[in-house]
Amino acid sequence: MKDAIINVEGLSHSYGKTVAVDNIYFHVEEGQIFSFLGPNGAGKTTTINLLITLLRIQKGQITISGVNVAKNPDAVRRNIGVVFQDHRLDRDLTIWETLEFHGKIHSLPKETRRQRITELLNIVELGDKRNAFIKNLSGGMKRSVEIARGLLVHPKVLFLDEPTIGLDTKARQRIWHYIKQINREENVTVFLTTHYMDEADQYSHEICIIDKGKIMANGSSSSLKNAIGKDIYHIKTTDDLKASQILANLPEISHVEKNSNGLLLYLKNNELSASKLVKSLTIHQIKLGNLNLLKPTLDDVFIYYTGRKIDSTVDA
């Protein structure tokens, strides 16, 4: 097990009477790509703003690379890079001017600064567009510039708040290529907030599910899927409501979820045979229409722990 580079203990934050983050605990190991997964309004952005020192800690403790965030925020800022959810670039500067200005703010020596800018522009494939104005760039290119800016000072941790939101599939894939490259080649720990299941599933070493300000589950994608059962039956019956009540009592089933297409039966193990399932329904005069055996997905994990799919409410 690697050392934890981020430790969060008993963190809570409220806006008036609204609790956005509710007594959460988690840690991030050095070198991980760590996904904070949840719907808008779950508390992701509030948590990340507490981590990057933009919000004052009301309750709890955060340490990043051994530094207490509340006691020494300046030292924390020197160890992190941040890419915000919304674009925060001066549209009237060129790509090179944007990075040059950021390097000067952080007092990087001229030679070091320009060498690093050239290196990062090559990584994000914008070397030939160094003199292009920000206002003329696509959304994906702007995000690439922001990632390069976040990496300029060799951060130990790179915070990415919904980095691919609003981008098309090709741009999302390109951004993730860069993220994986800097994680692998520079050992930068990546803390990511997202509501894209596929990104969390495919790229994360560890996933932390947050909903309504609470940590619901955390672990690798495979461990989270295994935790809710080995397999899932997707069925349709002549009386789904009654069937759900009956099947929820079977010892082989851990959870029953009803949706518009029928029922999802989350199994504790693989010991529930189709014949036993049919028999359990038949003795109650319920006929089985469709039956499919599915493997758990991250969507299933999220539904299991939160009771709903990711929605699109206002973030907090």
Give a yes or no: residue 314 inside a domain: no
Give a yes or no: residue 310 inside a domain: no
> Which residue from 169, 151, 8, 10 is spatially nearest to 81, judged by alpha carbons?
151
Out of 14-23, 36-45, 75-84, 245-254, the most confident range is 14-23
CATH number for position 129: 3.40.50.300
Report yes or no: 59 and 12 within 8 Å, Cβ to Cβ: yes
185 shares a domain with 60: yes
156 shares a domain with 36: yes
Q: Which pLDDT band, with edges at 50, 70 and 90, does 2 fall under?
A: low
264 shares a domain with 185: no
* Three-state DSSP class for residue 46: helix
**pLDDT at position 105 over 80:** yes
pTM (2 d.p.): 0.79
132 shares a domain with 249: no
**pLDDT at position 313 over 70:** no
Name the residue range of residue 217's domain.
Answer: 4-225
| Domain finish residue from 188, 209, 225 | 225
133 shares a domain with 80: yes
Segment 205-246, tens digit of pLDDT: 999 999 999 999 999 999 998 888 778 899 999 999 999 999
Helix axes 110-123, 139-151, angle to 10 degrees: 140
pLDDT-above-90 percentage for the chain: 65
174 shares a domain with 83: yes
242 shares a domain with 135: no
CATH number for position 285: 3.30.70.100
164 shares a domain with 264: no
Give a yes or no: residue 81 inside a domain: yes
Give a yes or no: residue 68 inside a domain: yes
290 shares a domain with 161: no
Q: Is 6 exposed, middle or buried (0-12, 13-18, 19+ CB in 10 A)?
A: buried
237 shares a domain with 218: no
As for how many domains the chain has, the answer is 2
Give a yes or no: residue 312 inside a domain: no
Give a yes or no: residue 135 inside a domain: yes
- Across the range 50-78, mean pLDDT stands at 96
Give a yes or no: residue 255 inside a domain: yes
| Domain finish residue from 196, 225, 254 | 225
Give a yes or no: residue 304 inside a domain: no
Q: Which two tokens stand for residue 260?
A: 């518009």
161 shares a domain with 269: no
Which residues 6+ apart lie within 8 Å of 246 measured at CB?
280, 281, 284, 286
Residue with tokens 């292009």: 132
Q: Which pLDDT band, with edges at 50, 70 and 90, does 312 fall under?
A: very low
Segment 245-290, tens digit of pLDDT: 999 999 999 889 988 889 999 888 767 888 999 999 999 999 999 8
| Domain finish residue from 184, 208, 225 | 225
Which residues 6+ apart lie within 8 Å of 259 measured at CB?
none
233 shares a domain with 216: no
- Across the range 191-205, mean pLDDT stands at 89
- Across the range 68-86, mean pLDDT stands at 92
Segment 83-104, tens digit of pLDDT: 888 878 999 999 999 999 999 9
